[in-house]
Amino acid sequence: MFKLGGLKSTPPSPSPHHLLCLLLLLPIIIINATATATTASGRRFKEAPQYDNSPACPSISTQDMCSQQAVHVAMTLDYPYLRGTMAAIFSILQHSSCPENIRFHFISTPSSTHLHEAISSSFPYLRSQIYSFDTYPVSGLISSSIRSALDSPLNYARNYLANILPPCVQKVVYLDSDLVLVDDIALLAATPLGAGTVLAAPEYCNANFTIYFTPTFWANPLLSLTFSERNACYFNTGVMVIDLERWREGDYTTKLVEWMELQKRMRIYELGSLPPFLLVFAGNIASVDHKWNQHGLGGDNFRGLCRNLHPGPVSLLHWSGKGKPWVRLDANRPCPLDALWAPYDLLQTQFALES
């Protein structure tokens, strides 16, 4: 069986019966179909229900975007992934014991800050703030990768979080937009970082770490020593708990940029924004249970074929890879696990609009 916030899973290949059981475990979602948010392209999103704090939650002013008692979540915001962002927010609020104590920090390009209005329309009670990310400095540092979506300057905003967010935000959970949570995000945010550790993420030490770097990197006697004194393991940067105070003290943005500058002079890695994080942090992060990033559900970066869940409990489902659930659903070619994303989709369907 699978564990969605409380049930354990061992089989790697979910049957239709298992998927049905998972869907039945999801709380019933009641949407206000009369209230909608409309984007510039005319696509409409429904208004999500409001979720209230449980009695045990600490009281935080709705205007306080800096409270250390709040759970701070950072996400990027752009049109191609807006539908995914909406679903992610919805899932976070629905499964939180203290949803009113979550503070969302959205990062967008100057031309896309209007998308915050769509978020506010679907979540009028959301405690959130939008930050404009100047993509010009990073655009000159981006090297082409195996998938064009990975080359978006906004994909590198995570490198600059400590500079973008106000100094009063000391700790943040960074999340990609192609995921949903089925557990309380406060549990993830409470991950202990230990002394001197800057970030926490699930590690995958069985993955082939060498493939993320080119033969040029490994052939260079100096560069190949980068990981010599570290037990470096692959980790996915789509789910991270980051101590921004320690990041700022260690000037880790500069460290990431230095590797990107070297990449422009000699190609030492593949796959977009991930390798600089591995170069700087791999082997020096706090570990997080794998249940907090059941990643790879979007398949590989070339074909985006269907994938199964990894064995074990599930707290977060992540469609990293080429295949996105909203694209496959629209094309009537969904993968079995896309049915777990669909209940959080706030897009107003044509059938609902006509009704």
Domain ranges of the chain: 69-342
Q: Which fold has domain 69-342?
A: Spore Coat Polysaccharide Biosynthesis Protein SpsA; Chain A (3.90.550)
- The three-class DSSP label of residue 38 is strand
- pLDDT given for residue 4 in this prediction: 58
Q: Which of 193, 159, 351 is nearest to 285 (CA)?
A: 193
pTM for the structure as a whole: 0.88
- Using the structure block, give the residue that is written with the tokens 């090297």: 143
Per-residue pLDDT of the chain (355 residues; tens, 9 = 90+): 445 554 344 444 444 444 444 544 454 444 443 455 665 556 799 999 999 999 999 999 999 999 999 999 999 999 999 999 999 999 999 999 999 999 999 999 998 889 999 999 999 999 999 999 999 889 989 887 665 666 789 999 999 999 999 999 999 999 999 999 999 999 999 999 999 899 999 999 998 889 999 999 999 999 999 999 899 999 999 999 999 999 999 999 999 999 999 999 999 998 789 999 999 999 999 999 999 999 999 987 677 689 899 889 999 999 998 899 999 999 999 999 999 999 999 999 765 444 4
DSSP H helical segments within the chain, as ranges?
16-25, 82-94, 115-122, 136-139, 161-164, 185-189, 215-219, 244-250, 252-265, 274-281, 325-330, 350-354
Number of residues that this document lists for the chain: 355
- pLDDT given for residue 71 in this prediction: 98
Q: How many other β-carbons are positioned within 10 Å of the β-carbon of residue 312?
A: 15
Q: Which of 98, 70, 76, 71 is nearest to 88 (CA)?
A: 76
- How does 31-46 read in b/e, with b if 16+ C-beta sit within 10 Å? beeeebbebeeeebbb
